[in-house]
């Protein structure tokens, strides 16, 4: 977050892009979650993503690509009444659809 602010309203997701499930990983029946950390800037863009946990690079790369396209209503410093940048975590799940 930029500057001191004790009263922050969290960002709210406005637009989510689902990650592309790699065909080879899907055929292997592999599933998993990728957890990322990054910043939601004062314009609501997700930046500076790094992988916190992942079942492997074939899933982490499409997760980073997708989450970097997400858009949020920015976090807001209620004390200053302005949008602020905050650190955030993001999770994507790769799950096979079973009947």
- Look at residue 98 in the predicted model and tell me its pLDDT: 63
Q: Is the full-model pTM beyond 0.85?
A: yes
- Look at residue 87 in the predicted model and tell me its pLDDT: 95
- Look at residue 42 in the predicted model and tell me its pLDDT: 96
- Look at residue 1 in the predicted model and tell me its pLDDT: 43
Residue 96: both structure tokens together? 């096979």
Q: What is the pLDDT of residues 33-92, one digit of tens each?
A: 999 999 999 999 999 999 999 998 999 999 999 999 999 999 999 888 899 999 999 999
Torsion of CA 48, 17, 70, 27, to 10 degrees: -20
């Amino acid at each position: 977050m930029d500057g001191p602010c004790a009263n922050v309203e969290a960002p709210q997701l406005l637009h989510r892009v689902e990650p592309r499930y790699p065909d080879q990983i899907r055929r292997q029946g592999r599933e998993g979650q990728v957890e990322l950390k990054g910043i939601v800037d004062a314009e609501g863009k997700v930046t500076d993503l790094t992988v916190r946990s992942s079942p492997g690079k074939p899933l982490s790369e499409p997760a980073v690509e997708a989450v970097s396209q997400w858009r949020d209503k920015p976090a807001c410093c209620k004390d200053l009444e302005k949008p602020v940048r905050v650190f955030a975590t993001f999770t994507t799940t790769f799950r096979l659809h079973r009947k």
